[in-house]
A and B are shown apart, each in its own frame.
Chain A
């Protein structure tokens, strides 16, 4: 009787068994890497905006405070995107005829808001409130990165749940004194471990990591 399989089948069979382990391991690894990649999270990706507004120029260069534009950050869930009139406070006087600012003037003229591309967009099933984070000493820069050095803003962190929980489980790693939260050049005066632990106690920060803290 003729052999059913060729001699090479032996090698092939062994290769498949051993190879299978590596293929499965590789697929799992690929999955975890893709899950955290900027392709999935949008981290570090610059989006084109209707007007190339530079946070770097306006904050580091001109010295404007975050709250001049994002007026409701300290008092509401939403930090607030400024209306065109906020831009026009200055731009009726300086660069009033610049070509690059035409969309801003058009928006003001026609009373149509500028349609900015949203960078930091949490899923709708997550409850998030800006004011409580600021009130407990979480700086703008902790989550949004060093916006004062960004010509065009991008998402600095992954915004994945493990990232939220990193701070919610260990707030002492990130909290600052309240008066320093808008300071882009802040350096802790003592080691963060010392100052963090003290502030957590002083501000009465609880480790809020139950499901319903965010998923209400």
Chain B
């Protein structure tokens, strides 16, 4: 841990003086501070937040019920835009999930210790985002009760799914992603569930956390098994960071539509996913660390590191936009050229210009150290990116589908109130799951944070500071 400063971005930007854990913490105070979030009396703002989320979940349920009663005609989707909000929102949510996997798997393998403060939280966010994403394709098939037809199984119809279709690859990619993410998240939780079991005072909580901890006693053998399993899962999850959004991009790039049929799509989508994911992690982390008094563990340096990843992936995404323009010109193809011109000046030009502003220009503010180190500014930039990434999918899907090769098949798309209801509803579901997670599970990995403490002790010898938050 002593070499941590040197490894984890200590050189650039002059962040090294800000530690990853506030000075003065001991293993006991870390455990106390993080598990207190779960064991304390439910704070009032939690009820308010969960209440809003719960209302939005009801919007989701109403939107789904009305959809099932009336059919997919309640949406704005129609030929030529047969895919509209469902796929826009699906890709948006799936993308958001990518930060969790990147943080938990790739940063673990790269030994970026600063991930410890945010990995649990980001992984939970991944799971909830994938759950929200999964709702859309299942509803979009029209008869969701038959959605299991997407999986290959020996059925009486004598049929297999169309394995040549990227939509079927999607089923496998997203299912694998959901399963591996869930396993990874749960495995990491086991030692902390045991901590909560041991700290709980009422019988019900002891039994529930005890079930979750699966008999964890913290013996050397347990730790050995745990470390092996965790590393193996990290290895399994690493290719998923790349593969899932690559397959999602195939949904578009395998088709021959102008604006979709481009080789840049897989890397451009993967970078966009990580970009969106980190934006969402920042959006959630900045308010939550204040509300839960966890600024000792999620320091400004964590935020600054995430801001740098946001800037990097944002530049790759911007490169993608420039390449789209370049391809349109360099292909010399009439329809490709028209596609680009139509994006800039056509009926959806406002969305395109807003997209360039949100994803291309505003993130450039992150070059400024001041922005990276001012939480409220960072929050605003992250929020803008969340909107921008949604607009990106809107522009890609709607502009290409409404302006096909044949003028006779041109059309337009506008969403209905049920499109918006479903979208807002999944945001509610995401929030509701997040609030439940924050209330009942430790949002930061307690046992991994304890391993960070010796470093904090070193600092204490210099500053002799008291824990600024913590034991209470």
Give Cα distance in the complex from A5 to B153, angstroms: 40
Tell me the chain B residues, 135-174 only, with Cβ under 8 Å from chain A.
153-159
CA distance A161 to B158 in the complex (A): 6
Name the interface residues of B168-216: CB closer than 8 Å to any CB of A. 197, 203, 206-207, 210, 214-215
B214: chain A residues within 8 A (beta carbon): 13
A165 to B160, CA, bound (A): 12
Would you give the shortest CB distance from B225 to chain A, in whole angstroms? 15
CA distance A130 to B224 in the complex (A): 69
Q: Return the CB mask of A32-64 against B: 1 if under 8 Å, else 0.
A: 100110000000000000000000000000000
Partner of B207, one of A4, A36, A160, A166: A4
Q: A202: CB under 8 A from chain B?
A: no
The answer to whether B210 and A160 have CB atoms under 8 Å apart is no
- CB-CB under 8 A for A161 and B197, given A4-B207, A5-B210, A32-B154: no
Q: Could you tell me the distance in whole angstroms from the C-beta of B153 to the nearest C-beta in chain A?
A: 8
Q: Which of A4, A28, A161 contacts B156 (CB 8 A)?
A: A161
Which residue from A4, A161, A165, A166 sits with its C-beta under 8 Å from B206? Answer: A4
A214 to B466, CA, bound (A): 78
Which of A10, A163, A164, A166 has a CB less than 8 Å from the CB of B215? A10
Main secondary structure of the interface of B (DSSP, over half): loop
> A9 to B206, alpha carbons, bound, how many Å?
14
Q: Is A162 in the interface zone, CB < 8 Å from B?
A: yes
Q: Which residues of B lie under 8 Å from residue A158 when comparing CB positions?
A: 156
A4-B197, A10-B215 known; A36 vs B156 contact (CB < 8 Å): yes
Q: Which of B155, B206, B210 contacts A162 (CB 8 A)?
A: B155
The docked-state distance in angstroms from the alpha carbon of A158 to that of B158 is 13
Chain B residues contacting A163 (CB-CB under 8 Å) are 158
CB distance from B465 to the nearest CB of A (A): 34
Chain B residues within 8 Å of A160, by CB: 156-158
Proximity string of chain A (147-170) to chain B, C-beta cutoff 8 Å, 1 when within and 0 when not: 000000000001011111110000
Which residue of chain B lies nearest to A161 when distances are taken between CB atoms in the complex? B157
B207 proximity list for chain A (CB < 8 A): 4-5
Q: Are B215 and A13 in contact (CB under 8 A)?
A: yes
Question: In whole angstroms, what is the CA distance A9 to B210 when docked?
Answer: 11
Question: How many Å from the CB of A15 to the closest CB on chain B?
Answer: 14
Most buried by A among B156, B203, B215: B156
Complex CA distance for A158 and B214, rounded to whole angstroms: 47
Cα–Cα, bound, A152→B385 (Å): 72
Q: How many Å from the CB of A168 to the closest CB on chain B? A: 9
Interface positions, chain A 56-78, Cβ under 8 Å from B, are none
Provide the A118-147 mask, 1 if CB < 8 A to any CB of B, else 0.
000000000000000000000000000000
Give chain A nearest CB distance to B160 CB in angstroms.
11
Contacts of B68-124 to chain A: CB distance below 8 A: none
**How far is A166 from B157 in the complex, measured between Cα atoms in Å?**
10
Residues of A1-24 at the interface with B, using a CB-CB cut-off of 8 Å, are 4-5, 9-10, 13
Q: Quick one: CB contact mask for B210-248 with A, threshold 8 Å, 1 for yes?
A: 100011000000000000000000000000000000000
**Contact status B154-A166, CB under 8 Å:** no
A165 cross-chain contacts in B, Cβ below 8 A:
157-159
Q: Could you tell me if B159 and A161 are in contact, using CB atoms closer than 8 angstroms?
A: yes
Within the complex, what minimum Cβ distance (angstroms) separates B165 from chain A?
14
Q: How far is the CB of A16 from chain B (nearest CB, A)?
A: 10
Task: List the A residue with the shortest CB-CB distance to B158.
Answer: A162
Q: Which residues of A contact B197 (CB under 8 A)?
A: 4
Per the bound structure, the CA–CA distance linking A35 and B158 in Å amounts to: 13
A164 to chain B, nearest CB (A): 8
CA distance A121 to B226 in the complex (A): 58
CA distance A13 to B214 in the complex (A): 8
- Please measure, in the bound complex, the distance between the C-alpha atom of A79 and the C-alpha atom of B157, giving whole angstroms: 25
- Contact partners of A35 in chain B: CB under 8 A: 155-156
* Minimum CB–CB distance for B206 against chain A, Å: 5
Contacts of B203 in A (CB 8 A): 4
> How far is it, in angstroms, between the C-alpha of A160 and the C-alpha of B206 when the chains are bound?
52
Chain A residue, CB-CB nearest to B197: A4
Query: Cα distance A32–B153 when bound, in Å?
Result: 9
Q: Across the interface, which residues of A come within 8 angstroms of B206, CB to CB?
A: 4
Q: Which residues of A contact B157 (CB under 8 A)?
A: 160-162, 165
How many Å from the CB of B208 to the closest CB on chain A? 10
What residues of chain A lie closer than 8 Å to B159, measured between beta carbons?
Answer: 161, 165
How far is A12 from B206 in the complex, measured between Cα atoms in Å? Answer: 18
Q: Which of A28, A32, A166 contacts B158 (CB 8 A)?
A: A166
- The chain B residue sitting closest to A1, CB to CB, is B198
Q: How far is the CA of A16 from the CA of B215 in the complex (A)?
A: 14
What's the least CB distance linking B161 to chain A, in Å? 13
Taking the nearest CB of chain B, how far is it from the CB of A174, in angstroms? 15
**A162-B156 CB under 8 A given contacts A4-B207, A4-B210, A5-B210:** yes
Q: A32 CA to B155 CA in the complex, in Å?
A: 7
23 contacts between A and B (CB under 8 A): A4-B197, A4-B206, A4-B207, A4-B210, A5-B210, A5-B215, A9-B215, A10-B215, A28-B153, A32-B154, A35-B155, A36-B156, A160-B156, A160-B157, A161-B157, A161-B158, A161-B159, A162-B157, A164-B158, A165-B157, A165-B158, A165-B159, A166-B158
Closest 4 pairs (CB-CB, A-B): A162-B158, A165-B158, A161-B157, A160-B156
> A5-B210, A28-B153, A163-B158 given. 16 additional CB < 8 A pairs?
A4-B197, A4-B206, A4-B207, A5-B215, A10-B215, A13-B215, A32-B153, A36-B156, A158-B156, A160-B156, A160-B158, A162-B155, A162-B156, A162-B158, A165-B157, A165-B158
